[in-house]
A and B are shown apart, each in its own frame.
Chain A
């Protein structure tokens, strides 16, 4: 009896809480964000999940939309990953691409931020501008530059440099012939260069918020640049490193724009130059037979993997510890 009553009360409590929230100022401020999340995030996910349980093909929605195949798309996907020799490379490539590019992005951004911190003001700002260029250049133009740089014929910049130096005698088709290292190197290089600036900006602004007295104090005590970096800057940037790593990892997991162009233009090998996100895109939009159900299933799994990796990253890198325990009781 008592239990029922209390259960009732919590239910109506929750209900009135929601009602209160809807009538509060906070709700008005959050409304635009809530609408955006619903329109651009929740609806697409719901649609994808739905699609992943249908045999939808070639955008023939009218015909397939009411057919359900259960988890068949998911089983097919797992089977392909484990058995299809053309799909497996894509997953190895995705893992290698994310790990190496992530390391380049985070360490490069950190290194640049710290290096520019110890530079004079003028050198620092021109260095930073230089590293922002890849980000500021339109994707097509930027990809074009590297297309010509790594081009497999003698007109490729890299080839002509190496040939004029006498290091090689015949042009090398970097993206197609040295499998898998050639295509990997190219997609990692091209994306790594773009991603570095993000970490650089975040870390630079974080460093500029460190009281300069901390660094001066260490200098007076005789600390070298390296020991200031190791003992003061990096520990104080811990939170930002976690943040940039997580953010960059998730965006690498879902990025495909540069890679799409490089594959499309034939610069890199189709299998060892394609990542999971691009694979989904191709399956849904460019393949001869557009297997949308399968693409949706692969996409849903990608979202789940992304969410898990995000949580894992925050956990491993100690998100909880970063939030300081309150001083004494509050």
Chain B
């Protein structure tokens, strides 16, 4: 049973650069937590803090009830996998995997048993006599994972382990890695900048930007209810559309005016809008939750636009539409035939719309919850 808890952890480097600020994060026993964020956001820093390679400038880190804030890495029983895998180039695969056990001074026959077991689990038992430079990228990556797992760590930390693999391999390895994690039941923290990877593998995702955690939730929650414009724009391919809107009230009914056209305000937002007295908002809607019709029948659910470009993606088409000067995207079935500059009707699914405050860029739900 290991639960990893970070409490108000801040890391300021000696250069004065703030690596991470006020991180609060709990990773439950056996949980697969993805740490998702763009380059330079502080993902590796967070991971290295958990590993004990960096000491926090302030805050505390717990493994269960044990305060590990000041423990060196070796006393934390963690397995760490690096982006470049960091295999020892002068050692054979066998010795690479055996290294952590040799450091622990285990008897050589026990080491052999464990190395073979782990190698078998990762299907690299035939490669044990090779040097790292004689392996493909995918094989090297397995060796790195084997080396992290062989000492049966309480916590497995992975720093973008798949980013050096080609796209095909990445997709097949991520399913395998997820299965392995569930089978072994190790608390896992997985750093990635690839939103698809995080969505596909994680039990929960922590989105980090500029050294701060912005949202923690299940892939479903983070994807459908982004807490900020950033999260909505970072997840999804293509990402969420954003467009400015204004709230108006007519005959006791709330509407949002987008590009000069009125649509109903989503029903679940009505109490929030009324209580907060919102006027200007940013409307967020996902391309796949947007329907495109050849023409609008005036129902206050759709807005008129014009085809800007069509991108065939194989399985479906991405339509880039011009909405009063703003470009938004929609995913449509291949059966729909559209030509450039054609007038179309764009219908975002009302119950899936997310509204944000243009100033703080936080969603109205989050702001409402913060007020309470």
Contacts and interface: CB of A to CB of B under 8 A. Distances in A.
Nearest to B151: A221
Nearest to B79: A220
A214 B134 CA distance: 18
B89 A236 contact: yes
Contact of B53 (A211, A220, A223): A220
Contacts of A236: 89-90
B80 interface: yes
Given A222-B74, A327-B133, A217 B82 contact: yes
B186 to A, nearest CB: 15
A219 to B, nearest CB: 6
B100 interface: yes
Given A213-B84, A213-B86, A232-B88, A220 B99 contact: no
B133 A222 contact: no
A220 B53 CA distance: 8
Interface string A230-274: 011001101000000000000000000000000000000000000
Contact of A219 (B74, B89, B133): B74
A303 interface: no
A214 B80 contact: no
A126 interface: no
A211 B73 contact: no
Given A236-B90, A327-B134, A221 B100 contact: yes
A185 interface: no
A221 B147 CA distance: 10
A155 to B, nearest CB: 47
A82 interface: no
A211 B104 contact: no
A42 interface: no
A217 B86 contact: yes
B51 interface: yes
A202 B82 CA distance: 28
Interface in B78-128: 78, 80, 82, 84, 86, 88-90, 99-100, 103-104
B84 A221 contact: no
A235 B90 contact: yes
A222 B103 contact: yes
A220 B78 contact: yes
Contacts of B78: 220
Contacts of B90: 235-236, 238
From B78, B86, B133, name the one whose CB has the most chain A CB atoms within 10 angstroms: B86
B314 to A, nearest CB: 35
A60 interface: no
A324 B104 CA distance: 31
Interface string A189-231: 0000000000000000000000101101111111100010001
Contacts of B88: 214, 231-232
Contacts of A220: 51-53, 73-74, 78, 80
A219 B82 contact: no
Contacts of B52: 220
Interface residues of A, number: 19
Given A324-B133, A327-B134, A222 B100 contact: yes
B82 A221 contact: no
Nearest to B131: A324
Nearest to B81: A217
Contacts of B82: 213, 216-217
A222 B104 contact: yes
B310 to A, nearest CB: 45
B81 to A, nearest CB: 9
A218 B73 CA distance: 10
Contacts of A213: 82, 84, 86
A253 to B, nearest CB: 31
Contacts of A214: 86, 88
A219 B90 CA distance: 17
A221 B78 CA distance: 8
A231 B103 CA distance: 10
Nearest to A232: B88
Contact of B86 (A216, A222, A223, A235): A216
A46 B78 CA distance: 66
Contacts of B53: 216, 219-220
From A216, A227, A236, name the one whose CB has the most chain B CB atoms within 10 angstroms: A216
Contacts of A235: 90
A327 to B, nearest CB: 6
Contacts of B134: 327
Contacts of B72: 219
Nearest to A238: B90
A211 B103 CA distance: 20
Contacts of A217: 80, 82, 86, 147
A324 B89 CA distance: 11
B163 to A, nearest CB: 14
Nearest to A324: B133
Interface in B131-151: 133-134, 147, 151
A223 B147 CA distance: 14
A216 B99 CA distance: 13
A30 to B, nearest CB: 31
A223 B80 CA distance: 14
Contact of A231 (B51, B99, B104, B147): B99
Contacts of A219: 53, 72-74
Contacts of B151: 221
A123 to B, nearest CB: 14
A134 B90 CA distance: 35
Nearest to A214: B86
Given A219-B73, A327-B134, 9 more contacts: A211-B86, A213-B86, A214-B88, A216-B82, A218-B99, A220-B51, A221-B151, A222-B74, A327-B133
Interface of B: 51-53, 72-74, 78, 80, 82, 84, 86, 88-90, 99-100, 103-104, 133-134, 147, 151
Q: When A and B form their complex, which 7 residue pairs have the shortest distance between CB atoms, in order from nearest? A: A222-B74, A213-B86, A221-B100, A235-B90, A220-B73, A213-B82, A217-B86
28 contacts: A211-B86, A213-B84, A214-B86, A214-B88, A216-B82, A217-B80, A217-B147, A219-B72, A219-B73, A220-B52, A220-B73, A220-B74, A220-B78, A220-B80, A221-B74, A221-B99, A221-B100, A221-B103, A221-B151, A222-B73, A222-B104, A223-B74, A223-B103, A227-B103, A231-B99, A236-B90, A324-B133, A327-B134
